[in-house]
Amino acid sequence: MNLYFNAAASDPASALVRDALRQTAAQKPVFVLGDNPEINLYVTDGSGGYDADSGSATVTPWLAIGTPGAAPTGGTFWLGVSSATSGTLHNGSRYYIQDYQAGDDFTNVGATTNETGEIFTKNNGTPTSWANGSTLVEITTDVAYSATAATLLAALEATEAITTGAVTVTKSGDAPVWKVEWTTTGNKSALIGGGSGLTPASSVVVSTIRAGTSTVTEQQLIRLSQQPYALQTTWAQISNGWNARLDLNTRGLLEALDGAGSVPLTLELQLVDGSDNIRTVGQVDCIVRHEVVDEEATIPTPLPSYLTAAETRAEASATTSNSTQTTLTYTTGNGTLDANSTVAFYGIVTARRTDADGENDGFEFKGLIHRNALASSTAIDALQMNQIGATAWSVDVQADTTNGAILIKVTGATSKTISWKAHLYKTAVAE
């Protein structure tokens, strides 16, 4: 699929054109749930040529499908009010390990594990070690997506960093947007937000709308915004443009369809430079159609708000030319487990020697794996393997304790080029 966006268009809604020479409106793009289309992306100058940024190595395209301005419809979020890399933790306060550094140990003060992303409420004592620079953020209690100004204010004032009377919070209407203003002058550190508990998948966006000075109080805006249903930010350069595949096999698109045969959405292109300056080139209408398969055959982006049990499918592949064990790379879907879940899985691997005829094999496996709150807890509980052919090649399935996932590993033979392909099926039950 070739997409041409006219950077000179007066309205991003009309930026999609037929090509660099023909600046007339292109047909509305149509995508299908579950596909992985190859996209050649170009930005034109509106005068028969290409924009200076088109295909530039210093600019990153962000191509997304979603609903501009959409907000979450459920769940909770938290705000981070202060951060430190050493010091004192307060009993009863809630902390988020934003950046864990090896050697520090917070398990004696409430943390379940020492890992980036861990959230805990501090209990008695001092950390066993906090001398290696781990960044901890004091955070509020979880706040409902629809919280009133008074509720958010109470959560902020309950922290050690923001005490009673330090800020005011206002909210206009029902939209999940709050303005936080400090009651004292001076520059303030930006709040941060955690939105993993929001549904559909959403982010907490914090922006400074008035910087504090010696005579001016600071104002920051808190806004909850749905994440794109599909997003591609990694591209390869091609002549005058970029190339990538857009993964349309996501839970966000499935939920957007909500059982309908098709749904109108927005295709947005932003160009982001090395200083994180954003240039929105296009926001055009598109159509996403449902695939003609059972819902459980799709590979979703895992969300705790979805079903407590669902079967998903993934594909992985690799090529080997030696006897070193090699991990297959997921090309469709992934082997990731949701937090606090147990997964029964089965799969089949096909192998063929491609530099000579006559050597082929197949492997079947099934097993049970679980993951608790953190990826490091991922472990295989049971595994059964069956080799269908008779080569000396082998397949193994292991737990990925870094990403909380299933790894499929293969071992070929020296000086033999072997192509491997696997299908993995998972059925999960989560808390």
| 61: CATH | 2.60.40
Q: How confident is the model at residue 149 (pLDDT cuts 50, 70, 90)?
A: very high
Domain check: are 194 and 132 in the same one?
A: yes
Domain check: are 321 and 370 in the same one?
A: yes
Query: Is the separation of the CB atoms in 44 and 231 below 8 Å?
Result: no
Domain check: are 121 and 199 in the same one?
A: yes
Out of 103-107, 148-152, 311-315, 404-408, which region has the weakest mean confidence (pLDDT)? 311-315
Alpha carbons 124 and 118: distance in angstroms, whole number: 18
Alpha carbons 398 and 406: distance in angstroms, whole number: 6
The predicted-structure confidence for 198-252, as pLDDT tens digits, reads as follows 888 888 989 888 999 999 999 999 999 888 899 898 899 999 999 999 999 888 8
Query: Is the separation of the CB atoms in 412 and 418 below 8 Å?
Result: yes
* Stretch 24-34: mean pLDDT: 91
Domain check: are 355 and 423 in the same one?
A: yes
Domain membership flag for residue 147: yes
Domain membership flag for residue 96: yes
Out of 1-15, 215-229, 248-262, which region has the weakest mean confidence (pLDDT)? 248-262
Domain check: are 57 and 86 in the same one?
A: no
Closest listed residue to residue 47, CA positions, set 9, 1, 11, 16: 9
Ranges of beta strands (E only) in 195-327 are: 198-199, 202-210, 217-226, 230-232, 236-238, 241-245, 262-273, 278-289, 309-320, 326-327
pLDDT of residue 312: 63
Domain check: are 80 and 188 in the same one?
A: yes
Domain membership flag for residue 294: no
Distance, C-alpha 133 to centroid of its chain? 26
pLDDT of residue 378: 95
What are the CA-CA distances from residue 318 to residues 143, 321, 327, 412 (Å)? 45, 10, 8, 11
pLDDT of residue 292: 61
Domain membership flag for residue 376: yes
Alpha carbons 195 and 145: distance in angstroms, whole number: 9
Closest listed residue to residue 245, CA positions, set 175, 330, 119, 328: 330
The predicted-structure confidence for 51-67, as pLDDT tens digits, reads as follows 999 999 999 999 999 98
pLDDT of residue 120: 95
Please give the tally of structural domains in the chain.
Answer: 3
Domain check: are 325 and 415 in the same one?
A: yes
pLDDT of residue 298: 46
The predicted-structure confidence for 270-327, as pLDDT tens digits, reads as follows 998 888 788 999 999 999 998 765 444 444 444 333 333 334 678 899 999 999 999 9
Structure tokens at 134: 């781990």
The predicted-structure confidence for 346-387, as pLDDT tens digits, reads as follows 999 999 999 999 999 999 999 999 999 899 999 999 999 999
Domain check: are 317 and 398 in the same one?
A: yes
Q: Kindly tell me if the per-residue pLDDT of 26 is higher than 80.
A: yes
Domain membership flag for residue 176: yes
Domain check: are 315 and 283 in the same one?
A: no
**Residue ending a domain, choose from 242, 267, 289:** 289
Domain check: are 218 and 361 in the same one?
A: no
Domain check: are 103 and 198 in the same one?
A: yes
Domain that holds residue 342: 299-430
In percent, the amount of the chain with pLDDT more than 70 equals: 95
Domain check: are 47 and 100 in the same one?
A: no
